[in-house]
Amino acid sequence: MSNLTDIVAGAFLIAGASFALVAAIGVARFPDLLNRMHAGTKPQTFGLLLILTGLAIRLDSWRAGLLIAILIVFQMLTAPVSAHMVGRAAFRAGLVNRDELYVCEAPDEEPPAEGHTV
Amino acid sequence: MNKTRFLAIITLTILWLLLWADVTRILVAGGLIVATLIVFLFPFPALNLAPVVRPLRLIALVAVFLWDMFLASLQVAWLAIRPQRLPSAALIEVPLITGSDMLQVLTAELICLVPGSLLIELDSEGKRMWLHVMNVSSPQSLAEARKMAHDQEYRVLAALGSQDEYDQALARREAAQA
């Protein structure tokens, strides 16, 4: 059995690491900030999720499993928030080249009052 | 002390115990003290938790989300490694059905977690959000991007929304399919 868990856990670790690698390639290759945010925050999150799942399978201990579950939950709660903050800041600062967008339905030039935005 | 704060203290204490991965009297007491301090020192505005929970729909929400995340990760990975230039992206405005802060945040978070779409701005009172979507270069992919956002909100409302908002989301979904 331990052979099988090793193989499954190994597959998860390799798949996760590949997503992290591809995320890095995306960050290096994509032309502008928003597209880079896509590469830098999402495949990497999924890759980390796979790596942690592989780790949980391999460690086979409920304590480690619980810690890993917490890690996954917090990673998934915080990653989109940071991605959103960078994206919003970039857009408001005018770092987004609107001509390159296929469609641009920009929010009102005057951003809504602070309390109303998330 | 209201119910939300009480729940927050219990949840934070459980989290504290999970982080220590042990349950002793000292740890429980310490957790309760830290949790109480956090809740009272950093009060958050009252949040309306989900009024309804439909368990089967909730499972469907999580399952579909994980699958979407997998597919979309592969797509973004392919865009990153293929030799061609990156196709253009789009910034789209998406109207929301729900007026609940909690469900708006949940919808936005899930959309943001799926690779290829990024939340730029959310107008909570106006029930609108703006998304940056990768790889949009035709009217068809534009329609797909809007459908993706609407479907995500539909699944959230199906799992956690009030009956009224769920019905509205269902009607929009059927109208889109017709």
How many Å from the N-terminal Cα to the C-terminal Cα in chain A? 49
ipTM (interface pTM): 0.75
Measured over the CA atoms of residue A80, residue A86, residue A87 and residue A92, the dihedral's sign is positive
Residue B29 pLDDT exceeds 90: yes
Residue A51 pLDDT class (50, 70, 90 cuts): very high
Could B113 and A37 be called an inter-chain contact, meaning their C-beta atoms sit closer than 8 Å?
A: no
pLDDT at B1: 55
A42: nearest CB among B73, B120, B130: B73
A104 touches B at CB < 8 Å: yes
Q: Are A18 and A47 in contact (CB under 8 A)?
A: yes
Q: What are the domain boundaries of chain A? A: 2-116
| A41 vs B134, more confident | B134
d(CA B176, CA B178): 6
pLDDT at B165: 85
Structure tokens at A107: 């929010």
Residue A60 pLDDT exceeds 60: yes
- Residues in Cβ contact with B1 at an 8 Å cutoff, skipping those fewer than 6 apart: none
- Residues in Cβ contact with A108 at an 8 Å cutoff, skipping those fewer than 6 apart: none
Residue B18 pLDDT class (50, 70, 90 cuts): confident
pLDDT at A109: 54
Q: Are A55 and A13 in contact (CB under 8 A)?
A: yes
DSSP strand pairing (B117-123 vs B90-95): unpaired
Q: Which residues of B touch A65 (CB under 8 A)?
A: none
Average pLDDT for A53-65: 86
A26 touches B at CB < 8 Å: yes
Q: pLDDT, tens digit, for every residue of B132-176?
A: 888 888 888 888 888 888 889 999 888 888 888 888 888 888 888
A106 touches B at CB < 8 Å: yes
Q: Which residues of B touch A83 (CB under 8 A)?
A: 112, 118-119
Residue A39 pLDDT exceeds 90: no
What is the least distance, in Å, from the CA of A95 to any CA of chain B? 13
The burial of A25, by beta-carbon neighbours within 10 Å (0-12 exposed, 13-18 middle, 19 or more buried), is given as middle
Q: Which residues of B touch A34 (CB under 8 A)?
A: 89, 118, 132
Alpha-helical segments (H) within chain B: 3-20, 25-41, 55-81, 101-113, 139-160, 163-177
- Report the residue of B120, B125, B128 to disrupt the A interface, i.e. the one with the largest count of A CBs within 10 Å: B120
| A42 vs B103, more confident | B103
Residue B80 pLDDT exceeds 90: no
Between residues 62 and 91 of chain B, which touch chain A (CB distance below 8 Å)?
69-70, 72-73, 76-77, 79-81, 85-86, 88-91
